Amino acid sequence: MRATIWRASLDQERKLAYSSDPQFSIGVRKVEEDLHVVQADVHQIYGQLDQVLKLLQNNLASSIPSNIEPNPKREG
């Protein structure tokens, strides 16, 4: 219960600081904008990596000849 009250008090202090200090407000908005840009970049990179992995899988699957017989020494 104390932790909840403490968090509520801390949140209230942040809100007061955010609304009373224009420089802080501008700084927070800039950080939020930058965070969104970074998240978009990460999402784009993830998509590109996914495409590269799919291409690699397709190329590896198509480059293995179907007429290769297993090595008898390994099966033994």
Model confidence at 35: pLDDT above 70: yes
Q: Residue 6 falls within a domain, yes or no? A: no
- pLDDT value, residue 12: 72
Structural domain includes residue 40: yes
Residue 15 and residue 8: Cα distance in Å, rounded?
11
Please report, as a single letter, which amino acid is at residue 19.
Answer: S
8 A C-beta contact, residue 31 and residue 39 = no
What residues contact residue 28 under an 8 Å CB cut-off, 6+ apart?
18
Over range 53-76, report the average pLDDT.
75
Percent of the chain's residues with pLDDT above 90: 33
Regarding predicted confidence, which is higher, 24 or 37?
Answer: 37
How many structural domains are present in the chain? 1
- What average pLDDT score do residues 60-73 get? 72
pLDDT reading at 75 higher than 60: no
The domain in which residue 28 lies consists of 22-61
The answer to whether position 2 is within a domain reads: no
Residue 9 lies in a domain: no
